[in-house]
Amino acid sequence: MNNTNFYAAEQDFKVAVDCIIFGFDAGDLKLLLVKRDFPPCAGEWSLVGGFLRLDENLDQAAERVLRDYTGIEKVYMEQLMAFSEVNRDPGGLVVSAAYFALMDIRDYNHQVQNAVWCPVDKAPPLIFDHDRMVKKALGRMRRRASNCPVGFNLLPDEFTLPVLQQLYEKIFGFEMDKRNFRKKIQGMNILVNTGRKDHSTSKKGAFIYSFDEKKYKEMLESGYNPNFFSINYNGR
């Protein structure tokens, strides 16, 4: 006896996941896109995606898709929402759960030949409702970045403050004052200065920092919630 029989009269759908995978490189916020090599819409640009299988939940499906396309297991990932317009996919009755992921682009090891990192603001039109998904993901990323230090997921373990500021400017879409940025981020007490300098972008060299995740978690546990970038919940 199949356990689906209680609802046998209901309509069947395929369930997909589509991943909006963000990276940061060369001062640009980028998106992993693939040229579809199967119908429908073969040859067009698309998010990376796949279908939900019997023995996994959506999170696991998204992780699998990410692994298949990037070779990476552990990245920051979170579900956005389900997309379900009628006929959204001309290939069939498909409801798709969109996920957004943040990864260090340097961890990417070219697994798939037709996948490309593309600056978000120069992305080509995407198939189906994928442009809507990207828009949604950008909004969600901004909100997350306002509340939690998720930005570090887009950077290597070590980075300089100018680079970190560049990243946040790209995420939020506006320029920030250097002094205010540094005051704020350093006041949070979650960065460690390695004492080393990176001279790749200036003669003087910029100090290299790392994100102290342990300190951050302790801080959270002790009930203090640092407010990133002008979002205050004022201690509740």
Provide the β-strand partners of residue 129. none
Q: By rule CB under 8 A, what string of x and - marks binding of each residue 194-213 to a copy of itself?
A: --------------------
> Quick one: which segment of 10-18, 57-65, 112-120, 203-211 binds DNA (CB under 7 A)?
203-211
* Polymer length in residues for the chain: 236
Q: Could you say which DSSP state residue 103 is in?
A: -
82 alpha-carbon distance from chain centroid: 17
Residue 113 touches which member of DNA, a copy of itself, none, C-beta under 5-8 Å by kind: none
Count the Cβ atoms, other than its own, within 10 Å of residue 192. 13
Q: Is 220 in the site for a copy of itself (CB under 8 A)?
A: no
The β-bridge relationship of strands 158-160 and 94-102 is unpaired
Q: Is 227 in the site for DNA (CB under 7 A)?
A: yes
Count the Cβ atoms, other than its own, within 10 Å of residue 137. 24
Q: How far is the CB of 136 from DNA (least distance, A)?
A: 25
Q: Is 109 in the site for a copy of itself (CB under 8 A)?
A: no
- Where does residue 182 rank: exposed (0-12), middle (13-18), buried (19+ CB within 10 A)? middle
Select the residue interacting with DNA from 7, 10, 113, 179 (CB under 7 A). Answer: 179
Q: Is 161 in the site for DNA (CB under 7 A)?
A: yes
Q: How far is the CB of 144 from DNA (least distance, A)?
A: 16
Using CA atoms, how far apart are residues 111 and 67, in angstroms rounded to an integer?
9
- Where does residue 90 rank: exposed (0-12), middle (13-18), buried (19+ CB within 10 A)? exposed
Q: Is 122 in the site for DNA (CB under 7 A)?
A: no
Q: Is 64 in the site for DNA (CB under 7 A)?
A: no
Q: What is the widest separation between alpha-carbon atoms in the chain? A: 73
Q: Is 232 in the site for DNA (CB under 7 A)?
A: yes
Q: Is 178 in the site for DNA (CB under 7 A)?
A: yes
* 120-179: contacts with a copy of itself (CB under 8 A): 146, 172, 174
Q: Is 3 in the site for a copy of itself (CB under 8 A)?
A: yes
Alpha carbon distances (Å) from 132 to 92, 126, 160, 179: 19, 9, 33, 36
Q: Is 206 in the site for DNA (CB under 7 A)?
A: yes
Q: Under the rule (CB under 7 A), what is the footprint of DNA?
A: 160-162, 177-180, 182-184, 197, 199, 201-207, 227, 230, 232, 234-235
**Footprint on this chain of a copy of itself (rule: CB under 8 A):** 3-8, 10-15, 39-40, 51-59, 79-82, 84-86, 90-95, 97, 146, 172, 174, 230-234, 236
